[in-house]
Amino acid sequence: MAKKNKQNITKWIVKISILAFIISFSLSALSEALLPKINIIIGIIILLIFIFIGVLFDMIGVAFTSADEEPFHAQSSRKVHGASTAVKLIKNAPRVSSFCNDVVGDICGILSGSAGVVIAAGLISNMHLNSYITALTVTAIISSLTIGLKAIGKEIAIKNNTKIISAFSKTISIFYK
C-alpha cells in the first residue's frame, strides 16, 4: 500500500509540474508579447487581473483545505448539481489546494511581477521618474496588495468554505467527470 501511495504521489508531482510548466510558459509568452505594447493604464488593469485571479484561486485552495465533506454528501444524496464533484475534490483537497495555491497562485504572482516591470519601465520612460525609486515602489505596491488581499481572502474562504466550494464545484462539474 505504501509503495502504491508513493507512486501516486510521484505521478501527481510529475503531472502538476508539467502542467505548471505549460501554463506558466503559455501565460508568460502571452504576457511578454502583449504587455510591452500597451499603455500603462491597460498594464495596471492586467496586473490587477493577475492579482485577483491569484487571490481567487488562493481562496478556493484554502476553502478546500478547511472544508467538511458532510454538507456535500447530503447535497449529493439530494442530487444537487456539483455536490458529487465537491465530494471528490474535497477528498483530494491537498491536490486541489496545491493546484490552486501553488500552480495558479504562484504563476499569477510571477506574472504580476512581470507586469510590474513593464509598468515601472513605462512610468520611468513616460514620466522621467527615478528608476530605482519607481521600481521599488511598484514592487512594494504589488507585494502589499497581493499579500493584503490574500490575507482577506483566506479569512473569507475559511468562513465561507461551503459556499465557495459549491460555486466552484458547480462551475467545474461542467468540465469534470
Assess whether pLDDT exceeds 90 at residue 33. Answer: no
SS (H, E, C) 93-160: HHHHHHHHHHHHHHHHHHHHHHHHHHHHHHHHHHHCCCHHHHHHHHHHHHHHHHHHHHHHHHHHHHHC
**pLDDT of the residue at 12:** 85
For the segment 57-95, what is each residue's pLDDT rounded down to a tens digit?
A: 999 999 999 999 999 999 999 999 999 999 999 999 999
Mean pLDDT of 102-125: 91
**pLDDT of the residue at 38:** 82
Nine cell digits for residue 21 = 510548466
Assess whether pLDDT exceeds 70 at residue 176. Answer: no
| pLDDT-above-90 percentage for the chain | 69
Chain-wide mean pLDDT for the chain? Answer: 91
**pLDDT of the residue at 1:** 53
User: Residues with Cβ < 8 Å from 89, sequence gap 6 or more?
Assistant: 64, 96, 165, 168, 169, 172
Contacts 24+ apart (CB under 8 A), 39-47: 39/122, 40/119, 40/122, 40/123, 40/126, 43/115, 43/118, 43/119, 43/122, 44/119, 46/115, 47/112, 47/115, 47/116, 47/119, 47/142
Phi (first) and psi of residue 42, to 5 degrees: -65, -40
The residue type at 160 = N
Which residue do the cell numbers 439530494 mark?
78
Q: The whole model's pTM is what?
A: 0.86
